[in-house]
Amino acid sequence: MKVTTAKQGFRSVLAAIFLFGALLFSASSANAQTNDADLSLNWVTESEALSALENSVGLLVVDQANYPQGSPNWNNIANHINYYKLIMGLIEEGNTVPVSVGNGVLMMNDDKNASKDLVPAATLTQLRADATTLLTL
């Protein structure tokens, strides 16, 4: 069956509408990592956050030496260290503190940053809660 010019034009417009919709959806889902509750909290400044995170990482490294490698406590501390370092990197890239906290959770299990074993959702929730407590007034 021959495709008329009118049908071909409609297909192009339809494809453009779908692409535009996909762009809008991906942009809104990327921004969804920082919810309204996070924005209503009183977050520290970026420089204060970097200092607090660096201090916490230093203390966690010292504390981690008290546990056998691979033990639950050692793994918990390792997760905190990795998460806090991800947040620090995101802040240094110019992200705000709440966005860095939210996106850091996502990065824990992505292909670039994940270790062999994925971090369970409950652990990610606890990591985010701990970071929120550390980085809010």
The secondary structure of 46-98, three-state, reads HHHHHHHHHHHHHHHHHHHCCCCCCCHHHHHHHHHHHHHHHHHHHHHCCCCHH
The domain ranges of the chain are 1-32, 36-135
CATH code given to domain 36-135: 1.10.274
Q: How many CA atoms lie within 13 A of 57 on its CB side?
A: 14
**pLDDT tens by residue, 4-27:** 656 666 676 656 566 556 655 554
**pLDDT tens by residue, 90-133:** 999 999 999 999 999 988 887 665 555 688 889 999 999 999 99
Residue 14 tokens read as: 């339809």
Q: Per the confidence metrics, is the pTM higher than 0.85? A: no
Q: Answer for the pair 102, 33: CB distance below 8 angstroms, yes or no.
A: yes
Q: Answer for the pair 100, 87: CB distance below 8 angstroms, yes or no.
A: yes
Q: Answer for the pair 124, 132: CB distance below 8 angstroms, yes or no.
A: no
